[in-house]
Amino acid sequence: MTSTRVLLATSSLVLAAACGDDGGSADADPSAPDARVSAKCLEARDHSDLDWIHTEIIVPGCASFQSCHMGTALEAGGLNLETKANVLTLVGRPSPLFPQFQDIVPFSPSTSYLMILLGKYTGPLDPDVGTMPYASPLLCDQKRDAIDRWILAGATDGAPAVDAALAQ
């Protein structure tokens, strides 16, 4: 019985970690801004490149452990995010949920529906879906900022790093 409890506890921790609970700013103590921020969130401060974003944010949180956005992705509107090439298909694509928005608008993160879905900017959301990751806490600010900077730099496969001060 004890080994079952340990297995369940371990599984719960792994599930929570994979579903976007990465020390986001919602619970952070404002007097100690980095006290609850994970190492991956801190690392995100130095990135605006699709290689890192795909490997460290998209695959673990969207297209691997949860399997929402892999394969045929039937439960995710057919949106497969397993490869960088798949992510790049979102650039300039009208959002299936709200066609007045494009999923990713190069150089304009605030008008990119992806950033609305990630909770970075306000905008319409499907009440049955909400923000992403689905049914999980928002990604930490640093990870959302990395994606924001990537879009600001043009949302390309080889986007150069953008100074964080320019992204604000």
- pLDDT (tens digit, 0 to 9) for every residue of the chain, 168 residues total? 443 333 323 222 222 333 344 444 333 433 345 557 889 999 999 999 999 988 898 877 665 545 675 565 555 566 777 788 888 988 999 998 899 999 999 999 999 999 999 999 999 999 988 898 887 889 999 999 999 999 999 999 874 555 555 555
- Compute the half-sphere exposure of residue 158: CA atoms within 13 Å on the CB side of its CA: 0
